[in-house]
Structure 1
Amino acid sequence: MYELKTKENDRSVIEFIESVENPKKREDAYRLLDIFTETTGFQAKMWGTSIIGFGSYHYKYATGHEGDAPLVGFSPRKAKVSLYFATGDERREELLKAFGKHTTGKACVYINKVADIDTEVLKKLILQSIEFLRKTYPNP
């Protein structure tokens, strides 16, 4: 049976951020930590070894696969900072148009540094993602 690797755990968020080698990326990680914490109202938790997540939801796909994931989160990776927002909502795409310098993958939004983005739009993306996921996966 498939086991999800990215699970919430008790590792220290601060210790993880302190382990980020690049000082500018570490500084951005603290800035994002403040923005996500203030906007979500949730305490930051480590998910897996490198994702800082906020809140959680339980999903179940038509295939029967199910699990838990953070509502939103980020990871200060070596190349870029990964931001995790829900996909599938048109509002996300509209907000991203005003977000600033970024690229997108299948599920992630990537930025080089916080200075490249509009932090007010970031807050809107965070709230939009939480609202969308709560509608899509209401608590049983």
Structure 2
Amino acid sequence: MAKNKTQETEKSVYQFLDEFVDTETKREESKILINLMSEVSGFEAKMWGPSIIGFGTYHYIYDSGREGDAPIIAFSPRKAAFSLYIFRGNKEESTLLPRLGKYKMEKGCIYVKKIADIDLSILSEILKNTIRLTLEQYPPQTDLT
């Protein structure tokens, strides 16, 4: 079985921002997202793979047998836009998206060029919904020993 390429690392989130995010504006906007996602999720920011900043973790097992761990919510400050890994596609989120602001979407990922282009209170509601749905679908594992 292939190993999941995107795994939590020990790299510092802020070191990543300083070394790999090319503009001060993008670094500052990343910090806004870090603060918001941390506040909403209750988890501190962790690096996942070389460029994803994630919050919390869940364990998934697909029908195919493939399994792994992933962040509950996450983003990546890419050169062209922020990639927000947060959309689960339910009706509640679908009603929030038209009020989010300027974004593009593909395969459940929301792309935002500038944080000023979106309503952070709507983003906060989408984050809460994503966290709830993810944890309902993939409840935290408990050790019964």
TM-score (normalizing by structure 1): 0.95
> What percentage of aligned pairs have identical amino acids?
44
Instruction: Report the AA paired with residue 104 of structure 2.
Output: T
- How many aligned residue pairs are there? 140
> Cα distance, 1:86 vs. partner?
4.1
Which deviates more from structure 2 when the two are superposed, residues 5-14 or residues 87-96? 87-96
TM-score (normalizing by structure 2): 0.92
Instruction: Report the AA paired with residue 31 of structure 2.
Output: Y
> Cα distance, 1:90 vs. partner?
2.2
Are the counterparts in 2 of residues 71 and 86 from structure 1 also a CA contact under 8 Å?
no
Match of 1:57 in 2: 58
- RMSD (Å), alpha carbons: 1.1
Are the counterparts in 2 of residues 86 and 133 from structure 1 also a CA contact under 8 Å?
no
Runs of 4+ in 1 over 6 A off after TM superposition: none
Instruction: Report the AA paired with residue 13 of structure 2.
Output: V
Are the counterparts in 1 of residues 103 and 113 from structure 2 also a CA contact under 8 Å?
yes
List gaps (5 residues or longer) in structure 2. Answer: none
Distance 1:62 1:86 in 2: 21
Match of 1:26 in 2: 27
Distance 1:86 1:62 in 2: 21
Distance 1:35 1:122 in 2: 9
Distance 2:91 2:54 in 1: 23
Matches within 5 A, 1:93-132: 93-132=94-133
> Cα distance, 1:11 vs. partner?
0.4
Match of 1:67 in 2: 68
Which deviates more from structure 2 when the two are superposed, residues 112-121 or residues 24-33? 24-33
